[in-house]
Amino acid sequence: MDTLVESVNATAKIPLHPFWPLNAALPQYAANTLSSRALVASFVVGASAILGVTLSLIQQSRRKLSKTEIFMTLWFALCGCIHLFFEGYYVVNFVDISNRQFLFAQLWKEYSLSDSRYLTQDSFLVPMEAITAFLWGPMSFFCAWSIVKQHPLRHPIQLIISVGQIYGDVLYFGTCYFNEIVHSVVYCRPEQFYFYMYYIFCNAIWIVIPTVCVVHSVVQTKRAFAKVQDVERVRKGIAKDIHFYLAPFSKLPLSTPTLSDPRWSVEKFTRSFTDQIILSLRFRLLYEEVPKTEPEKAVVHAHSVLAFTIDSESQAHDAFQQVYQLPGERWQTVRLWYQQQAY
């Protein structure tokens, strides 16, 4: 192996380097000063520190998060740090990263043993890493924060980031295999460790976990839309019921009616008022965060004096009289308000 490397580099008149293909032009390459084990250990320690700090912040927030939410908060916090700082360092220094000795530079040179394109200013990797660093990075921090704060933008942001990560990883693998199949250019050293641990494992993480995040966001979004649709169906049904039961009553003048009036049934209207109109009001007050309007307050007052058990025509008459004895203008406002809701 050493003889082959020396012969290739001697022929090409370029400095000796361990990357594949052996004739890759790296004139400014400087070997790492740290061993592979030390570099991998430093990355693991750094990632563990990020996760530990994030978990501590979650606990200090005193938010009751599920295990899934805690895991995703940790994941996006780690993604934010890796994308913005580690990959951002590469984007800023990609021109001469092969001769730098900063920790991040040495980590990139270590990873480049599985994909030397990172050291050759590849036209795909640099723009792709720029998008990852300066778009997915800040968005990942926001997503982690939104999970803890239960922000309504949590799932849209989580979905966008995760789809972007999957898409970038698929293109990453695709362009590499395209060059290998079509142009017979291999960028990874022949040792299986670099191929399976660096190239496959490290990148597969950004396919598996984002896929889980995508499925989770899709399921939660589906449930949210289903709830909204159910609410709309209930509201439309209540509006139709209100219109049906108020239609005959809306034709009455604002004066005390009699039971002999043929245009409506006191018992039917009173039952309907109790079962349908008040139900719609409760629905509105419980499921919509809106202040109570004067018409709503009037209906609440009317409901408080209604007889819930109506066993006879006389009880129905008494219940209706109590409602109708509200101040004339106020009761008219209530009636008109419900008519508007019905239409």
What would the pLDDT profile of 98-130 be if each residue is shown by its tens digit?
A: 999 999 999 999 999 999 999 998 999 999 999
User: Contact 73/148 with Cβ under 8 angstroms?
Assistant: yes
Structural domain includes residue 140: yes
Q: Characterize 76-108 residue by residue with b for buried, 16 or more Cβ atoms within 10 angstroms of its Cβ, and e for exposed.
A: bbbbbbbbbebbbbbbeebeebbebeebbbbbb
**pLDDT score of 226:** 85
Structural domain includes residue 339: no
User: Contact 252/264 with Cβ under 8 angstroms?
Assistant: yes
Percent of the chain with pLDDT over 70: 63
Look-up: residue for tokens 């139900």?
279
Average pLDDT score over residue span 130-138: 95
Nearest CA to 18 out of 194, 173, 182, 199 is that of 194
Nearest CA to 85 out of 102, 73, 63, 98 is that of 102
Tell me whether the omega of the peptide bond preceding residue 138 falls within 30 degrees of 0, making it cis: no
What would the pLDDT profile of 75-92 be if each residue is shown by its tens digit?
A: 999 999 999 999 999 999
pTM, entire model: 0.67
Average pLDDT score over residue span 134-145: 96
**pLDDT score of 26:** 84
| Alpha carbons 75 and 64: distance in angstroms, whole number | 18
| Alpha carbons 84 and 176: distance in angstroms, whole number | 24
Domain of 93 in residue numbering reads as 36-223
- Give 165 or 23, the one with higher predicted confidence: 165
Q: How many other CB atoms are found less than 10 A from the CB of residue 66?
A: 8
Average per-residue pLDDT for the chain: 76
Give Cα separations from 61 to 58, 76, 165, 320 (angstroms): 5, 17, 28, 53
Q: Which of 126-140, 184-198, 250-264 has the lowest mean pLDDT?
A: 250-264
CA atoms within 13 A on the CB side of 104: 16
What would the pLDDT profile of 300-315 be if each residue is shown by its tens digit?
A: 444 444 433 434 445 4
Give Cα separations from 93 to 59, 76, 88, 103, 144 (angstroms): 37, 24, 9, 13, 28
User: Contact 334/295 with Cβ under 8 angstroms?
Assistant: yes
Give Cα separations from 255 to 73, 129, 274, 294 (angstroms): 63, 76, 21, 21
pLDDT value at 179 more than 50: yes
What would the pLDDT profile of 235-291 be if each residue is shown by its tens digit?
A: 665 555 555 444 444 443 333 444 444 444 444 444 444 454 554 444 444 444 445
Q: Where are the alpha helices (DSSP H) in the chain?
A: 2-12, 36-61, 67-81, 88-93, 103-111, 125-131, 137-149, 154-182, 192-193, 202-246, 266-272, 278-287, 294-304, 313-324, 328-342
Instruction: Please list, in sequence order, all residues whose beta carbon lies within 8 angstroms of the beta carbon of residue 50, skipping any fewer than 6 positions away.
Output: 77, 78, 81
How many folded domains does the chain comprise?
1
Instruction: Please list, in sequence order, all residues whose beta carbon lies within 8 angstroms of the beta carbon of residue 310, skipping any fewer than 6 positions away.
Output: 267, 270, 271, 316, 319
Structural domain includes residue 288: no
| Alpha carbons 213 and 227: distance in angstroms, whole number | 21
Provide the token pair at 19.
């990357």
Query: Identity (one letter) of the amino acid at 8?
Result: V
**pLDDT score of 336:** 53
Nearest CA to 220 out of 154, 294, 140, 289 is that of 154
User: Contact 216/66 with Cβ under 8 angstroms?
Assistant: no
User: Contact 269/238 with Cβ under 8 angstroms?
Assistant: no
| Alpha carbons 256 and 26: distance in angstroms, whole number | 98
What would the pLDDT profile of 25-79 be if each residue is shown by its tens digit?
A: 888 889 999 999 999 999 999 999 999 999 999 999 888 889 999 999 999 999 9
Structural domain includes residue 85: yes
Structural domain includes residue 300: no
C-alpha gyration radius of the chain: 35
What would the pLDDT profile of 214-228 be if each residue is shown by its tens digit?
A: 999 999 999 888 887
